Amino acid sequence: MSQNVLAPASGVAAQAARRRTFAVISHPDAGKSTMTEALALHARVIGKAGAVHGKGDRRGVVSDWMAMEQQRGISVTSAALQFSYRDTVINLLDTPGHADFSEDTYRVLTAVDSAVMLLDAAKGLEPQTLKLFEVCRQRGIPVMTFINKWDRPGHDALALLDEIEQRIGLRPTPLTWPVGIAGQFHGVIDRRTGVFIRMQRSPGGADLAIEEEMGADEAAQRYGADWATATEELELLEMTGADHDQATFLAATSTPVLFGAAVANLGVRQLLDLLVELAPPPSARPTAEGADQPVDAEFSGFVFKVQANMNRAHRDQVAFMRICSGRFERGMVVTHAGTGKPFTTKYAQQIFGQGRDTIDEAYPGDVVGLVNATALGIGDTLYAGAPVRYPALPSFPPEHFAVVRTSDTSAFKRFRRGIEQLDAEGVVQVLRSEQRGDQAPVLAAVGPMQFEVATYRLEAEFGVHAQLDHLPYQVAARTDPAGQEILRGVASVEVMTRVRDDALLAMFPDRWRMRFIAGRTPDLRLDVAP
């Protein structure tokens, strides 16, 4: 359970300056959830770190609260943790790394001010890593890079820096530098102070690492060739000007780099300190109209995630809201920008993985959980005072489609309720097909693992065993009623209605077929659908 981190108000701008809101992102298995837990451990809000791939009596990480995550050792949904460190309030968002859950990750990136990207020392830049770096660059999100798993064999440190610069165009500026090659990790040199910090894993690795500052002469005597190599590499970095520049970091054109091993808690303290010192606090946020909403304006925020059944005892639904401006007070009546209707924030909570505490106030950068807020959907804006609306959240065109059914007629009400919940959360898109009727909705997903999550949650949370029949479509394009009539009866094509917004989606087996039909019917409107 989290601490009460919110101090009495001393001005909204001053409170916003105390916040650091960032996401931990990477390719699958690079160690995101382990890093999330290690950061919480160093902030002393948990006593011992768990392991992502929990086996036997080993505990799962705090952020992986869903049973499916704990069983399989992967993150399939984003999670929020809030805690204090030094005089700073940390809002840390852990994200799923698997490409099938990219949509969830991308939504989280709309709610943060910076990101920590983990690279596996042995694998370097992987496909999902490249995509996430590109998204951060497009959104102007400053990125810190943590080269993880340096306690295991991996690539050369300079080669990894070259790969970052050559493949993604961000200039790497190491803030710490390892002594010892990957797999023979002795500690790091802090490039800003020149101090060598010897690091040793604690017994079992579940506690803080053992750290000791050591002078250059003693380090040279103890580590010999490894120390000599590290100092030569540091001279090379000096010659090439690979020094941290705050302006280019904030402009998302350079990336500070650190080395360590999250599972052994090595280098994690240095990352947390540098996040507090260098990561940007909340600032004025662009609205849908193109203006900037200052942090000290009246209250506003937007919902970037909806999650049900986090607490199995209550089976409630939580809307995760990023506060963008003003002071939030529990119980305040705000306006729903989409409907213009008032919304009461009576049940507001501070989130720490699956745990939560009632919260009375919050400030820009904070993530607040609004419980049983069934009127809220992903992307909704709430505000007090002058109207404001934030831009719509990104979505991906689905590429996988399946009919979902249950053979248990007595469970049909629960089946429909579960499907509606999964649609509201954005776990999958739900489509209505004229050919199949309401009893057999169609699920649309970016990746097939989303189907696994959907059927797992239907059974675990709603007691419904569901079967999937996969459909032979790979492309969905938006069309209109005229297009629906044109396509009616065309072989291997089907038009369905997306439940959440009544959009008409035309399904095609592949892009070639879509282009062929579009070329033969110039009056047909087709837009590849997000």
Binding residue numbers for GTP: 94-98
Q: Which of 247, 361, 363 is nearest to 301 (CA)?
A: 363
The residue type found at 20 is R
- Residue 56, by phi and psi: left (phi above 0), alpha (psi -120 to 50) or beta? left
Q: 400: Cβ–Cβ under 8 A, 6 or more apart, which residues? A: 444, 445, 446, 447, 448, 450, 451, 470, 474
Question: How far is 28 from 268, CA to CA, in rounded Å?
Answer: 19
Query: What DSSP designation does 449 have?
Result: H
CA distance readout (Å), 69 to 53, 60, 73, 93? 9, 8, 5, 16
**Interhelix angle for 268-278 vs 32-42, to 10°?**
80
Backbone angles phi, psi at 101, to 5 degrees: -110, 25
Burial zone of 485 (CB within 10 Å; 0-12 exposed, 13-18 middle, 19+ buried): exposed
Measure the CA–CA gap between 162 and 3, rounded to whole angstroms. 41
Residue type, 517: I
Residue 150 CB coordination number (10 Å):
28
What burial letters (b/e) apply to 497-516, b meaning 16+ CB within 10 Å?
bbbeeebbbbbbeeeebbee
> Which structure tokens are listed for 79?
């999670």
DSSP 8-state code for residue 262: G
Q: Which residues pair with 188 in a beta bridge?
A: 178, 197
Contact 6, 89 (CB under 8 A): yes
- Block residue for tokens 């440190």: 157
Which residues neighbour 443 within 8 Å (Cβ) at sequence distance 6 or greater?
401, 402, 403, 404, 422, 428, 429, 430, 431, 450, 451, 454, 468
Sign for the pseudo-dihedral over CA of 34, 40, 44, 50 = negative
**Binding site members:** 94-98
CA distance 81 to 369: 11
| Angular region, 372: left φ>0, alpha ψ -120 to 50, beta rest | left
| CA gap 73, 55 in Å, rounded | 9
Residue with tokens 């690539």: 155
